[in-house]
Structure 1
Protein backbone atom coordinates (compact mmCIF):
# COMPACT_ATOMS: atom_id res chain seq x y z
CA UNK A 1 0.00 0.00 0.00
CA UNK A 2 1.63 3.16 -1.22
CA UNK A 3 -1.03 5.82 -0.66
CA UNK A 4 -1.74 7.30 2.75
CA UNK A 5 -5.51 7.11 2.15
CA UNK A 6 -5.22 3.39 1.42
CA UNK A 7 -3.19 2.70 4.55
CA UNK A 8 -5.50 4.73 6.80
CA UNK A 9 -8.70 3.16 5.50
CA UNK A 10 -7.26 -0.36 5.73
CA UNK A 11 -6.02 0.27 9.27
CA UNK A 12 -9.44 1.59 10.33
CA UNK A 13 -11.28 -1.35 8.72
CA UNK A 14 -8.85 -3.87 10.21
CA UNK A 15 -9.33 -2.37 13.68
CA UNK A 16 -13.12 -2.62 13.37
CA UNK A 17 -13.18 -6.23 12.27
CA UNK A 18 -10.90 -7.50 15.07
CA UNK A 19 -11.08 -11.32 14.79
CA UNK A 20 -14.04 -11.33 12.39
CA UNK A 21 -13.84 -11.71 8.62
CA UNK A 22 -15.41 -8.28 8.08
CA UNK A 23 -17.04 -5.51 10.11
CA UNK A 24 -20.67 -4.49 9.67
CA UNK A 25 -21.63 -1.48 7.58
CA UNK A 26 -23.30 0.09 10.64
CA UNK A 27 -19.94 0.19 12.43
CA UNK A 28 -18.38 2.56 9.89
CA UNK A 29 -18.09 6.04 11.41
CA UNK A 30 -17.39 8.68 8.73
CA UNK A 31 -15.88 11.03 11.31
CA UNK A 32 -13.25 8.41 12.15
CA UNK A 33 -12.04 8.40 8.54
CA UNK A 34 -12.64 12.07 7.74
CA UNK A 35 -9.07 12.58 6.51
CA UNK A 36 -9.58 9.98 3.74
CA UNK A 37 -13.34 10.27 3.29
CA UNK A 38 -13.13 12.14 -0.02
CA UNK A 39 -11.27 9.17 -1.57
CA UNK A 40 -13.81 6.57 -0.42
CA UNK A 41 -16.84 4.86 -1.90
CA UNK A 42 -19.19 2.01 -1.02
CA UNK A 43 -20.44 -0.65 -3.42
CA UNK A 44 -23.61 -2.70 -2.99
CA UNK A 45 -23.80 -6.34 -4.03
CA UNK A 46 -27.01 -6.53 -6.05
CA UNK A 47 -28.80 -9.49 -7.62
CA UNK A 48 -28.03 -8.30 -11.16
CA UNK A 49 -24.26 -8.19 -10.59
CA UNK A 50 -24.03 -4.50 -11.51
CA UNK A 51 -22.46 -3.46 -8.19
CA UNK A 52 -24.02 0.02 -7.86
CA UNK A 53 -22.20 2.67 -5.87
CA UNK A 54 -24.17 3.40 -2.70
CA UNK A 55 -21.82 6.22 -1.72
CA UNK A 56 -19.07 8.05 -3.55
CA UNK A 57 -17.28 10.97 -2.00
CA UNK A 58 -15.96 14.25 -3.38
CA UNK A 59 -12.60 13.33 -4.87
CA UNK A 60 -13.94 10.12 -6.44
CA UNK A 61 -16.84 12.06 -7.99
CA UNK A 62 -14.46 14.76 -9.22
CA UNK A 63 -12.51 12.22 -11.27
CA UNK A 64 -15.57 11.67 -13.47
CA UNK A 65 -16.86 15.25 -12.97
CA UNK A 66 -20.25 13.99 -11.74
CA UNK A 67 -21.96 12.29 -8.83
CA UNK A 68 -21.48 8.54 -9.18
CA UNK A 69 -24.05 7.46 -6.59
CA UNK A 70 -26.30 4.78 -8.09
CA UNK A 71 -24.03 4.19 -11.08
CA UNK A 72 -22.56 0.73 -11.64
CA UNK A 73 -18.98 0.43 -10.39
CA UNK A 74 -18.30 -1.75 -13.42
CA UNK A 75 -19.14 1.16 -15.76
CA UNK A 76 -16.05 2.96 -14.48
CA UNK A 77 -13.83 0.32 -16.09
CA UNK A 78 -13.13 -0.31 -19.73
CA UNK A 79 -12.44 -3.79 -21.02
CA UNK A 80 -11.54 -4.86 -17.48
CA UNK A 81 -15.12 -4.70 -16.17
CA UNK A 82 -15.52 -8.51 -16.15
CA UNK A 83 -12.23 -8.86 -14.26
CA UNK A 84 -13.30 -6.17 -11.79
CA UNK A 85 -16.59 -8.03 -11.20
CA UNK A 86 -14.57 -11.17 -10.46
CA UNK A 87 -12.36 -9.18 -8.07
CA UNK A 88 -15.43 -7.87 -6.22
CA UNK A 89 -16.78 -11.39 -5.88
CA UNK A 90 -13.39 -12.53 -4.56
CA UNK A 91 -13.48 -9.77 -1.95
CA UNK A 92 -16.95 -10.84 -0.81
CA UNK A 93 -16.62 -14.63 -1.21
CA UNK A 94 -13.29 -14.84 0.55
CA UNK A 95 -13.89 -11.88 2.88
CA UNK A 96 -10.43 -10.78 1.83
CA UNK A 97 -9.22 -7.24 1.25
CA UNK A 98 -7.61 -6.45 -2.09
CA UNK A 99 -5.33 -3.63 -3.18
CA UNK A 100 -4.93 -2.97 -6.88
CA UNK A 101 -3.21 -0.62 -9.24
CA UNK A 102 -5.38 1.24 -11.74
CA UNK A 103 -4.59 3.68 -14.50
CA UNK A 104 -6.48 6.12 -16.68
CA UNK A 105 -5.49 7.86 -19.87
CA UNK A 106 -6.83 10.87 -21.70
CA UNK A 107 -5.68 11.42 -25.26
CA UNK A 108 -2.70 13.74 -25.40
CA UNK A 109 -2.04 13.44 -21.67
CA UNK A 110 0.26 11.28 -19.59
CA UNK A 111 -1.34 8.26 -17.86
CA UNK A 112 -2.46 8.77 -14.27
CA UNK A 113 -1.96 5.99 -11.70
CA UNK A 114 -4.30 5.21 -8.82
CA UNK A 115 -4.33 2.80 -5.92
CA UNK A 116 -7.61 0.95 -5.38
CA UNK A 117 -8.54 -0.65 -2.06
CA UNK A 118 -11.54 -2.99 -1.72
CA UNK A 119 -12.69 -4.16 1.72
CA UNK A 120 -15.61 -6.52 2.48
CA UNK A 121 -18.42 -5.36 4.76
CA UNK A 122 -21.38 -7.13 6.27
CA UNK A 123 -24.76 -5.39 6.20
CA UNK A 124 -27.29 -6.25 8.92
CA UNK A 125 -25.23 -9.38 9.56
CA UNK A 126 -25.36 -10.54 5.93
CA UNK A 127 -22.17 -11.33 4.07
CA UNK A 128 -21.88 -10.55 0.34
CA UNK A 129 -23.56 -7.22 0.97
CA UNK A 130 -21.19 -4.26 0.68
CA UNK A 131 -17.64 -3.36 -0.27
CA UNK A 132 -15.90 -0.32 1.19
CA UNK A 133 -13.24 1.11 -1.07
CA UNK A 134 -10.89 3.94 -1.80
CA UNK A 135 -9.36 5.26 -4.99
CA UNK A 136 -6.33 7.43 -4.35
CA UNK A 137 -3.73 8.88 -6.65
CA UNK A 138 -0.36 10.44 -6.03
CA UNK A 139 0.86 13.54 -7.80
CA UNK A 140 -2.37 14.05 -9.68
CA UNK A 141 -2.02 16.44 -12.62
CA UNK A 142 -3.86 19.76 -12.55
CA UNK A 143 -6.47 18.63 -15.09
CA UNK A 144 -7.83 15.89 -12.78
CA UNK A 145 -11.17 17.15 -11.53
CA UNK A 146 -11.53 19.59 -14.41
CA UNK A 147 -11.68 17.04 -17.22
CA UNK A 148 -13.59 13.82 -16.59
CA UNK A 149 -11.73 10.57 -16.94
CA UNK A 150 -13.41 8.00 -19.14
CA UNK A 151 -12.38 4.60 -17.88
CA UNK A 152 -9.96 2.96 -15.50
CA UNK A 153 -7.70 0.06 -16.45
CA UNK A 154 -6.70 -2.61 -13.96
CA UNK A 155 -2.88 -2.79 -13.87
CA UNK A 156 -2.04 -4.94 -10.84
CA UNK A 157 -3.73 -6.82 -8.04
CA UNK A 158 -2.77 -8.13 -4.63
CA UNK A 159 -4.82 -9.96 -2.03
CA UNK A 160 -3.91 -8.63 1.40
CA UNK A 161 -3.06 -11.55 3.60
CA UNK A 162 -5.16 -12.24 6.64
CA UNK A 163 -2.49 -14.65 7.81
CA UNK A 164 -2.48 -15.61 11.45
CA UNK A 165 0.71 -16.35 13.36
CA UNK A 166 2.03 -19.84 12.64
CA UNK A 167 1.20 -21.00 16.18
CA UNK A 168 -2.50 -20.27 15.51
CA UNK A 169 -2.69 -22.22 12.25
CA UNK A 170 -4.12 -25.74 12.29
CA UNK A 171 -1.75 -28.50 11.27
CA UNK A 172 -2.21 -29.82 7.75
CA UNK A 173 -3.15 -33.50 7.58
CA UNK A 174 -0.36 -35.74 6.39
CA UNK A 175 -0.73 -36.93 2.82
CA UNK A 176 -1.39 -40.62 2.31
CA UNK A 177 1.30 -42.80 0.73
CA UNK A 178 -0.71 -43.18 -2.49
CA UNK A 179 -0.84 -39.43 -2.97
CA UNK A 180 2.86 -39.07 -2.13
CA UNK A 181 3.82 -41.63 -4.79
CA UNK A 182 1.64 -39.96 -7.41
CA UNK A 183 3.31 -36.61 -6.76
CA UNK A 184 6.64 -38.18 -7.84
CA UNK A 185 5.10 -39.70 -10.97
CA UNK A 186 5.96 -38.30 -14.37
CA UNK A 187 3.16 -36.10 -15.75
CA UNK A 188 1.29 -37.57 -18.70
CA UNK A 189 0.22 -35.44 -21.66
CA UNK A 190 -2.12 -36.43 -24.43
CA UNK A 191 -2.19 -34.69 -27.81
CA UNK A 192 -5.62 -34.41 -29.36
CA UNK A 193 -5.72 -33.47 -33.02
CA UNK A 194 -8.23 -30.76 -33.80
CA UNK A 195 -9.43 -29.15 -36.96
CA UNK A 196 -9.28 -25.51 -37.90
CA UNK A 197 -12.28 -23.50 -36.81
Structure 2
Protein backbone atom coordinates (compact mmCIF):
# COMPACT_ATOMS: atom_id res chain seq x y z
CA UNK A 1 0.00 0.00 0.00
CA UNK A 2 1.32 3.44 -0.92
CA UNK A 3 2.31 5.28 2.24
CA UNK A 4 2.74 8.62 0.52
CA UNK A 5 0.41 11.26 1.94
CA UNK A 6 -0.39 14.69 0.59
CA UNK A 7 -0.11 18.01 2.33
CA UNK A 8 -3.16 19.11 4.29
CA UNK A 9 -4.63 15.64 4.83
CA UNK A 10 -6.56 15.14 8.04
CA UNK A 11 -4.53 13.18 10.58
CA UNK A 12 -5.74 11.58 13.79
CA UNK A 13 -2.90 9.95 15.70
CA UNK A 14 -3.53 6.21 15.58
CA UNK A 15 -1.21 5.53 18.52
CA UNK A 16 -3.10 7.76 20.98
CA UNK A 17 -6.06 5.35 20.96
CA UNK A 18 -4.01 2.34 22.06
CA UNK A 19 -5.40 1.26 25.42
CA UNK A 20 -7.67 4.31 25.69
CA UNK A 21 -10.72 3.38 23.66
CA UNK A 22 -14.35 3.81 24.59
CA UNK A 23 -17.64 2.53 23.23
CA UNK A 24 -17.94 -0.51 20.99
CA UNK A 25 -14.24 -0.71 20.21
CA UNK A 26 -13.42 -1.16 23.89
CA UNK A 27 -15.80 -4.08 24.20
CA UNK A 28 -14.16 -6.15 21.48
CA UNK A 29 -11.80 -9.05 22.03
CA UNK A 30 -8.35 -8.03 23.34
CA UNK A 31 -6.73 -10.51 20.94
CA UNK A 32 -7.62 -8.14 18.08
CA UNK A 33 -5.57 -5.02 18.94
CA UNK A 34 -5.21 -3.80 15.35
CA UNK A 35 -8.95 -4.04 14.71
CA UNK A 36 -9.75 -2.27 17.96
CA UNK A 37 -7.34 0.58 17.26
CA UNK A 38 -8.43 1.04 13.64
CA UNK A 39 -12.07 1.21 14.75
CA UNK A 40 -11.18 3.86 17.34
CA UNK A 41 -9.24 5.79 14.68
CA UNK A 42 -12.24 5.63 12.31
CA UNK A 43 -14.58 6.77 15.10
CA UNK A 44 -12.35 9.80 15.71
CA UNK A 45 -12.45 10.68 12.00
CA UNK A 46 -16.27 10.82 12.10
CA UNK A 47 -16.12 14.11 14.01
CA UNK A 48 -19.89 14.24 14.48
CA UNK A 49 -20.76 12.60 11.14
CA UNK A 50 -22.34 9.21 10.63
CA UNK A 51 -19.55 8.10 8.28
CA UNK A 52 -16.18 9.81 7.68
CA UNK A 53 -14.87 10.73 4.24
CA UNK A 54 -12.44 8.62 2.27
CA UNK A 55 -10.15 11.63 1.95
CA UNK A 56 -9.84 11.84 5.75
CA UNK A 57 -7.98 8.52 5.94
CA UNK A 58 -4.26 9.16 6.11
CA UNK A 59 -1.51 6.51 6.23
CA UNK A 60 0.39 8.53 8.82
CA UNK A 61 -2.48 7.88 11.21
CA UNK A 62 -2.56 4.14 10.40
CA UNK A 63 1.14 3.43 10.66
CA UNK A 64 0.93 0.36 12.91
CA UNK A 65 -1.83 -1.27 10.87
CA UNK A 66 -0.78 -0.22 7.37
CA UNK A 67 0.42 -3.67 6.27
CA UNK A 68 -2.89 -5.22 7.37
CA UNK A 69 -5.16 -2.47 6.06
CA UNK A 70 -7.03 -2.24 2.77
CA UNK A 71 -9.54 -0.06 0.93
CA UNK A 72 -12.49 -1.55 -0.94
CA UNK A 73 -14.93 0.04 -3.37
CA UNK A 74 -18.50 -1.00 -4.06
CA UNK A 75 -20.68 0.76 -6.59
CA UNK A 76 -24.44 0.05 -6.42
CA UNK A 77 -25.26 -3.35 -7.87
CA UNK A 78 -21.65 -4.54 -8.01
CA UNK A 79 -19.30 -6.62 -5.88
CA UNK A 80 -16.98 -4.95 -3.39
CA UNK A 81 -13.49 -4.89 -4.92
CA UNK A 82 -10.09 -4.16 -3.41
CA UNK A 83 -8.65 -0.75 -4.31
CA UNK A 84 -5.56 -0.88 -2.10
CA UNK A 85 -4.19 -3.81 -0.11
CA UNK A 86 -1.49 -4.10 2.53
CA UNK A 87 1.46 -6.45 2.20
CA UNK A 88 0.10 -8.91 4.78
CA UNK A 89 -3.00 -9.57 2.65
CA UNK A 90 -0.98 -9.97 -0.54
CA UNK A 91 1.38 -12.46 1.13
CA UNK A 92 -1.51 -14.48 2.51
CA UNK A 93 -3.05 -14.81 -0.94
CA UNK A 94 0.20 -14.99 -2.91
CA UNK A 95 -0.94 -12.22 -5.28
CA UNK A 96 -1.65 -8.52 -5.59
CA UNK A 97 -5.29 -8.19 -4.57
CA UNK A 98 -5.95 -4.87 -6.27
CA UNK A 99 -9.10 -5.04 -8.47
CA UNK A 100 -10.00 -8.46 -7.06
CA UNK A 101 -13.39 -9.03 -5.37
CA UNK A 102 -13.01 -8.89 -1.61
CA UNK A 103 -14.63 -12.31 -1.35
CA UNK A 104 -11.66 -13.81 -3.26
CA UNK A 105 -9.95 -14.21 0.13
CA UNK A 106 -12.72 -16.55 1.27
CA UNK A 107 -13.78 -20.12 0.59
CA UNK A 108 -16.10 -20.24 -2.46
CA UNK A 109 -18.96 -21.64 -0.38
CA UNK A 110 -18.75 -18.58 1.90
CA UNK A 111 -18.93 -15.92 -0.79
CA UNK A 112 -22.67 -15.46 -1.32
CA UNK A 113 -23.27 -15.10 2.43
CA UNK A 114 -20.30 -12.77 2.75
CA UNK A 115 -21.44 -10.55 -0.14
CA UNK A 116 -24.80 -10.04 1.59
CA UNK A 117 -23.07 -8.95 4.80
CA UNK A 118 -20.73 -6.62 2.91
CA UNK A 119 -23.67 -4.96 1.15
CA UNK A 120 -25.01 -3.85 4.53
CA UNK A 121 -21.74 -2.06 5.31
CA UNK A 122 -22.52 0.31 2.44
CA UNK A 123 -26.33 0.26 2.39
CA UNK A 124 -26.97 0.27 6.15
CA UNK A 125 -24.58 1.81 6.75
CA UNK A 126 -22.88 -0.30 9.40
CA UNK A 127 -19.51 -1.49 10.62
CA UNK A 128 -18.85 -5.21 10.34
CA UNK A 129 -16.49 -7.40 12.35
CA UNK A 130 -15.90 -10.99 11.24
CA UNK A 131 -14.38 -13.86 13.21
CA UNK A 132 -12.40 -16.06 10.82
CA UNK A 133 -10.60 -19.37 10.51
CA UNK A 134 -8.66 -21.04 7.74
CA UNK A 135 -10.02 -23.68 5.40
CA UNK A 136 -9.03 -27.37 5.57
CA UNK A 137 -5.77 -26.59 3.78
CA UNK A 138 -4.80 -24.10 6.53
CA UNK A 139 -6.50 -25.45 9.69
CA UNK A 140 -4.25 -23.59 12.15
CA UNK A 141 -5.11 -20.12 10.83
CA UNK A 142 -7.46 -17.88 12.80
CA UNK A 143 -8.22 -14.20 13.02
CA UNK A 144 -10.67 -11.41 12.33
CA UNK A 145 -11.59 -8.73 9.79
CA UNK A 146 -13.15 -5.31 10.26
CA UNK A 147 -14.93 -3.23 7.60
CA UNK A 148 -15.73 0.45 8.18
CA UNK A 149 -17.75 2.51 5.65
CA UNK A 150 -16.43 5.70 4.04
CA UNK A 151 -18.01 8.40 1.89
CA UNK A 152 -16.44 9.21 -1.48
CA UNK A 153 -15.74 12.66 -2.94
CA UNK A 154 -19.43 13.05 -3.83
CA UNK A 155 -20.81 12.12 -0.41
CA UNK A 156 -21.85 8.58 -1.38
CA UNK A 157 -20.88 5.52 0.67
CA UNK A 158 -18.87 3.63 -1.95
CA UNK A 159 -15.66 2.96 -0.01
CA UNK A 160 -14.73 1.05 3.12
CA UNK A 161 -11.62 0.92 5.25
CA UNK A 162 -10.73 -2.63 6.21
CA UNK A 163 -8.18 -4.36 8.39
CA UNK A 164 -7.35 -8.07 8.57
CA UNK A 165 -5.60 -9.59 11.59
CA UNK A 166 -4.71 -13.28 11.26
CA UNK A 167 -2.22 -15.66 12.82
CA UNK A 168 -1.06 -19.21 12.18
CA UNK A 169 0.65 -21.08 9.36
CA UNK A 170 -0.49 -19.39 6.13
CA UNK A 171 1.85 -21.13 3.68
CA UNK A 172 1.59 -22.20 0.98
CA UNK A 173 -0.62 -19.43 -0.43
CA UNK A 174 -3.36 -18.82 -1.19
CA UNK A 175 -4.72 -19.08 2.35
CA UNK A 176 -8.48 -18.64 2.14
CA UNK A 177 -10.81 -17.99 5.05
CA UNK A 178 -14.14 -19.11 6.50
CA UNK A 179 -16.50 -16.87 8.50
CA UNK A 180 -17.19 -18.30 11.95
CA UNK A 181 -19.11 -15.34 13.31
CA UNK A 182 -20.08 -11.77 12.53
CA UNK A 183 -20.87 -8.70 14.60
CA UNK A 184 -22.56 -5.75 12.84
CA UNK A 185 -22.57 -2.28 14.33
CA UNK A 186 -25.45 -0.25 12.80
CA UNK A 187 -24.88 3.45 12.23
CA UNK A 188 -27.59 6.11 12.36
CA UNK A 189 -28.01 8.16 9.19
CA UNK A 190 -28.12 11.87 9.96
CA UNK A 191 -30.78 13.62 7.90
CA UNK A 192 -29.88 16.98 6.42
CA UNK A 193 -26.16 16.41 6.78
CA UNK A 194 -24.21 18.16 4.02
CA UNK A 195 -21.32 16.46 2.28
CA UNK A 196 -18.80 18.35 0.15
CA UNK A 197 -18.25 17.33 -3.45
CA UNK A 198 -14.88 17.26 -5.12
CA UNK A 199 -13.30 16.70 -8.49
CA UNK A 200 -11.92 13.17 -8.45
CA UNK A 201 -9.14 14.15 -10.85
CA UNK A 202 -7.68 16.57 -8.30
CA UNK A 203 -8.45 14.82 -5.01
CA UNK A 204 -5.19 13.60 -3.44
CA UNK A 205 -5.90 13.41 0.28
CA UNK A 206 -5.36 10.18 2.13
CA UNK A 207 -3.94 6.99 0.65
CA UNK A 208 -3.87 7.69 -3.07
CA UNK A 209 -5.93 5.54 -5.40
CA UNK A 210 -5.60 5.29 -9.16
CA UNK A 211 -9.06 5.99 -10.51
CA UNK A 212 -9.44 3.41 -13.20
CA UNK A 213 -12.29 1.11 -14.07
CA UNK A 214 -11.92 -2.48 -12.97
CA UNK A 215 -11.04 -4.69 -15.94
CA UNK A 216 -11.59 -8.43 -15.81
CA UNK A 217 -8.26 -10.23 -15.87
CA UNK A 218 -7.67 -12.59 -18.77
CA UNK A 219 -6.61 -16.13 -18.02
CA UNK A 220 -4.07 -18.17 -20.03
CA UNK A 221 -6.87 -19.87 -22.00
CA UNK A 222 -8.72 -16.68 -22.92
CA UNK A 223 -9.64 -16.43 -26.60
CA UNK A 224 -7.98 -13.78 -28.71
CA UNK A 225 -10.36 -11.29 -30.34
CA UNK A 226 -11.34 -12.06 -33.90
CA UNK A 227 -10.89 -8.42 -34.94
CA UNK A 228 -8.30 -5.85 -33.96
CA UNK A 229 -8.32 -2.12 -34.64
CA UNK A 230 -5.32 -1.13 -36.74
CA UNK A 231 -4.18 2.46 -36.46
CA UNK A 232 -2.72 4.25 -39.43
CA UNK A 233 0.66 4.54 -37.76
CA UNK A 234 0.90 0.83 -36.77
Which TM-score bucket, shorter chain as reference?
0.7 to 0.9
Which digits, 9 at most, give the CA deviation of each residue in 1:76-124, with x for residues without a partner?
22211111111111111112111111111243x5331111101000011
Which of residues 151, 169, 173 is equivalent to 2:176?
Answer: 151
Report which stretch shifted further, 31-40 or 44-53.
44-53
**Does 2:115 match 1:90?**
no
Equivalent residue number for residue 192 of structure 1: none
Distance 1:44 1:22 in 2: 15
Per-residue displacement from partner, 1:13-45 (whole Å, max 9, x unpaired)? 000012211111000011111101111111111
Secondary structure of the residue that 2:156 maps to in structure 1? strand
Larger CA Rg, structure 1 vs 2: 1
Residue number among 16, 38, 42 corresponding to 1:13 in the alignment: 42
Which residue among 120, 132, 135 is the counterpart of 2:161?
132
Assess if the C-alpha contact under 8 Å between 2:124 and 2:187 holds in 1: no
1:60 corresponds to: 89
Question: Does the 8 Å contact 1:118/1:133 carry over to 2?
Answer: yes
Once residues 150 and 29 of structure 1 are traced to their aligned partners in structure 2, the CA distance between those partners, rounded to angstroms, is 28
Which residue of structure 1 aligns with residue 99 of structure 2? 70
Structure 2 unpaired stretches of 5+: 1-27, 189-234
Please list the CA deviations of residues 40-88 of structure 1 after superposition, one character each: whole Å capped at 9, or x if unmatched: 1111113552211000001111111211111111222221111111111
Q: Is the 8 A contact 1:104 1:149 kept in 2?
A: no
What RMSD, in angstroms, separates the aligned Cα atoms of the two structures?
A: 1.8
Mapped to 1, the partners of 2:91 and 2:183 lie a distance apart of 26
| CA distance in structure 2 between the aligned counterparts of 1:37 and 1:31, rounded to whole angstroms | 9
CA displacement 1:147-195 (0-9 Å, x = unmatched): 11342211101113558xxxxxxxxxxxxxxxxxxxxxxxxxxxxxxxx
1:91 is paired with a residue whose SS is: helix
Give the total of aligned pairs.
158
Under a length normalisation based on structure 2, what TM-score does the superposition of the two structures give? 0.63
Q: Which is helix-richer, 1 or 2?
A: 1
Structure 1 residues without counterparts, runs of 5 or longer = 164-197
